Amino acid sequence: MAAGAGIRTVNLCKVYTSPPPAASGAATLTLGPQRGPGLRNKKVEIQALAGLSLEVRPGEIFGLLGPNGAGKSTTAGILTTRIRPTSGEAWVGDYEVWRDQVKAKRLIGVVQQRPNLDFSLTAREILQFHAAYFGIGKAERNKLSSELLERFQLTDRADELVRGYSGGMMQRVAIARAMMHHPRVLFLDEPSTGLDPQTRLLLWEIIREYNAEGTTILLTTHNMEEADALCGRIAIIDHGKMIALGTPAELKASIPGGYLLRARLSLGADEAAGRLRNEAGVSEVQVTGGRLDIYADRGGALVGLLVSAASACGAELLDLEISEPSLENLFLHHTGRSLRQ
């Protein structure tokens, strides 16, 4: 099998000039400031990407992690010839995608966020026609399709029209299809959304195996466990910009302190914060309303300090949540928002 190819984007920008299609999954949660309710009849401008530069090395599993509307699908769309960038460059292997579309398409396999199977065909036919589009001969495509159907546990119903499939089965067909022509780069846009936990594990295993054969994988997800479990490196993006980049371990280590204590006090949050900032091992304290976000090098051991700081200000500790170093905390640290919302 051919070795994986690299991916590179240079200063990628994308401004959509029409509102997102209603059925789009991303449309429900848009964070861009451009879309106020007053803009209904004016010309829309949605800045989905604001100068994104990425470099994915050949053979790695690279994760794009970010909340809904961050620009993950737009990035994947541009790299796979499906969305025209407003400016910037997008490279797959040796080809700039928008100058050498056909050559770039030969290198890539794509699983889009929304299932888009050919409903007029059976699962087996979908795989076989896909291979035929890529010029793979008949004997070879029969063999490959049977193998992949087996691997994705679809053999039983392979000769039914996919119309009647469940969401999870459709997703598996879509992933198998993207693998049919042995792409050198595989794009997986939120591949495990809608999968049950068991199938998700099967998928993770298949992704790792596939990557072990050399294929580069670009995976987008808003699920940090998935990014943590699969990716060699991760870029965290928000509002079309990169906020952090590194291995999961590096990223977690980059959070000041690592542990996060989120506390709510009845009053005096600012004063308590002042006291806590001077404590050894506390690297940062942020205050929002009555809430304290304390980044520190330990978790439970700080509870005593927190309680005494609170009582010194005459306040009561109403609520406390302790979390270990995680990508979630990192995102929260950079944006003040949770990835999950």
Partner 1 sequence: MSAFLALLARDAHVARRNFVPLMLQTMLQPMLFVFVFGQVMTRSGMMTPGYEDFLLPGIMAITMMMTGIQAVAMPLISEFQFTKEIEDRLLAPVNIQWLAVEKIVAGMLQTAVAGCVVAPAAYLLISGGAGASLKRPVEAVVMALLVALLSSAVGLLMGCSVGQTQIGLLFSLVLAPMIMFGCAYYPWSALASFPIVQKLVLLNPLVYASEGLRGVLTPHVEHMPVWVVMLVLALMDALIVAAGLNQFMKKAVG
Ligand X SMILES: Nc1ncnc2c1ncn2[C@@H]1O[C@H](COP(=O)(O)OP(=O)(O)O)[C@@H](O)[C@H]1O
Q: Which residues make up the interface to Mg ion (CB under 5 A)? A: 72-73, 113
- Asked if 121 interacts with partner 1 (CB under 8 A), we say yes
Distance between CA atoms of residues 339 and 331, nearest Å: 7
- Asked if 341 interacts with ligand X (CB under 6 A), we say no
Cβ nearer to Mg ion, comparing 61 with 260: 61
**To the nearest whole angstrom, how small is the minimum distance from the Cβ of residue 271 to ligand X?**
39
- Asked if 112 interacts with partner 1 (CB under 8 A), we say yes
Task: Enter the tokens of residue 173.
Answer: 């067909």
At residue 151, what is the residue type?
R
Distance between CA atoms of residues 282 and 244, nearest Å: 22
Q: How many residues bind partner 1 (CB under 8 A)?
A: 33
- Per-residue contact flags (x/-) with partner 1 for residues 22 to 61, judged by CB under 8 A: -xx-------------------------------------
**Residue 268: left (phi > 0), alpha (psi -120 to 50), or beta?**
left
- Asked if 18 interacts with ligand X (CB under 6 A), we say yes
- Asked if 164 interacts with partner 1 (CB under 8 A), we say no
114 contact, one of partner 1, ligand X, Mg ion, none, CB 5-8 Å limit per kind: partner 1
Nearest residue to 333 via CA among 303, 296, 306 = 296
Strands 7-16 and 241-246: unpaired
> Is there a contact between 267 and 294 (Cβ–Cβ < 8 Å)?
no
Cβ nearer to ligand X, comparing 63 with 69: 69
Segment near partner 1 (CB under 8 A); pick from 98-106, 150-158, 213-221, 316-324: 98-106
- Asked if 88 interacts with ligand X (CB under 6 A), we say no
- Asked if 239 interacts with ligand X (CB under 6 A), we say no
Is the torsion defined by CA of 181, 183, 189, 194 positive or negative?
A: positive
Is the torsion defined by CA of 57, 226, 14, 23 positive or negative?
A: positive
102 contact, one of ligand X, partner 1, Mg ion, none, CB 5-8 Å limit per kind: partner 1
Which stretches of the chain are assigned E, i.e. beta strand? 7-16, 46-56, 61-65, 87-92, 95-96, 108-111, 185-189, 216-221, 233-238, 241-246, 259-265, 282-288, 291-296, 317-323
Task: Enter the tokens of residue 259.
Answer: 């542990």
Nearest residue to 73 via CA among 20, 133, 33, 144 = 20
**To the nearest whole angstrom, how small is the minimum distance from the Cβ of residue 54 to partner 1?**
19
20 contact, one of ligand X, partner 1, Mg ion, none, CB 5-8 Å limit per kind: ligand X
**To the nearest whole angstrom, how small is the minimum distance from the Cβ of residue 273 to partner 1?**
46
- Asked if 82 interacts with partner 1 (CB under 8 A), we say yes
> Interface residues for ligand X in 66-85 (CB under 6 A)?
66, 68-74
**To the nearest whole angstrom, how small is the minimum distance from the Cβ of residue 90 to ligand X?**
14
Nearest residue to 222 via CA among 61, 48, 70 = 70
> Is there a contact between 245 and 233 (Cβ–Cβ < 8 Å)?
yes
> Who contacts 209 (Cβ-Cβ below 8 Å, separation ≥6)?
none
Cβ nearer to Mg ion, comparing 81 with 128: 81
Binding stretches for partner 1 (CB under 8 A): 16, 21, 23-24, 77, 80-84, 101-102, 105-106, 108, 110, 112, 114, 116-121, 125-126, 129-130, 132-135, 177
Binding stretches for ligand X (CB under 6 A): 16, 18-21, 24, 26-27, 30, 32, 46, 48, 66, 68-74
